[in-house]
Copies of this chain bind each other. A is one copy, B any other.
Amino acid sequence: MDPEAFLDIANQVIKLKMFPYFDIAHCVLCALSVREDLGSGAQTFSRKHPLACWLSYLLVVFAGGMVCNGLLGEPILAPLKNTPQLVIATLVWYVIFYMPFDIGYKVAKFLPIKIVCSAMKEIYRCKKVYDGVTHAGKIYPNAYVIMILIGTLKGNGAGFTKLFERLIRGVWTPTAMEFMQPSFYTKASLVASIIFVLDKKTDLISAPHALVYFGIVIFFVYFKLSSILLGIHDPFVPFENLACALFFGGIWDSLARILGRGQPKEESKDVKKNN
């Protein structure tokens, strides 16, 4: 493709309007994830506890904004002030959970529709990460760690509110902590945040901003589709294993073991991590 045209597309992508189509795609996938999290009792639960179901779904939809507002001292409820967005979210929830013959759910689960929604959600995710980094950068211009954290949380907020989301539904799973086993989305958002911070705050990345943004969009969509279609779940694992081997003990621990002065055996045998 000729580079001019490519840059043109990139500039289009960066200006893409999110409301309402991307919001709908995001809401559909959130509703599906709530429903799947409820397991086989989802139908019953949604009939017996519509309020808890709706609130926990809203928390999933607006998770990124709520968590980041909470951490930045802004009103946690602010994401709900956008009434049209809220109405659309509620309609999607109703369609997925309560349509007669469960039509809404079955349509949303239909593979081509799910793929389109997933791709749109990834484009949305990239915008959220970028907005998060920009927003944090306005408040704390020199706090790189805060920018990266906020970008990551905006990108995969629902992962970090999972505990609380389940708590609204009366289920408590303290071991399902995102930090313990970060999902691919968290890692991808983390990498994207770091790239955006480098792009905005340093001169290390010389490409035009639109291209950087577009590159991350492609990266997000590509891995999402390969995850759905090919079952590739986490392309970061090899890099993580490398980092762990270099920095977080791997090599040193092996050396110490060889020299016979390391930690006892039962501790060292699962050093090879897959995080």
Complex CA–CA separation, A76 to B48 (angstroms): 33
Contact A98 B44, beta carbon cutoff 8 Å: no
Q: A166-197: contact bitstring with B at CB < 8 Å (1 yes, 0 no)?
A: 01111110110101101000000000000000
Known: A81-B140, A100-B256. A179 touches B55 (CB 8 A): yes
What is the chain B residue whose CB lies nearest that of A41? B267
Chain A: residues with Cβ within 8 Å of the partner, total of: 73
In the complex the two chains form, is B46's CB within 8 Å of A248's CB? yes
Q: Given A81-B146, A146-B80, are A75 and B139 neighbors across the interface (CB < 8 Å)?
A: yes
> How many monomers of this chain does the complex have?
3
Q: Is A51 part of the binding interface, using a Cβ–Cβ cutoff of 8 Å?
A: yes
Contact B73 A143 (CB under 8 A): no
Which residues of B are found within 8 Å of A78, using beta-carbon distances? 73, 140
Q: Are B77 and A248 in contact (CB under 8 A)?
A: no
Distance in Å: Cβ of A89 to nearest Cβ of chain B? 10
Contact A47 B248 (CB under 8 A): yes
- Are A177 and B52 within 8 A (Cβ)? yes
Which B residues are CB-close (under 8 A) to A142? Answer: 81, 83
Q: Which chain B residues lie closer than 8 Å to A52 at the CB level?
A: 177, 179-180
Which residues of B sit under 8 angstroms from A270, Cβ to Cβ?
44, 47-48
- 12 A-B contacts (beta carbon < 8 Å): A44-B268, A47-B244, A47-B253, A49-B179, A50-B244, A50-B275, A71-B76, A80-B143, A81-B143, A82-B143, A83-B144, A172-B174
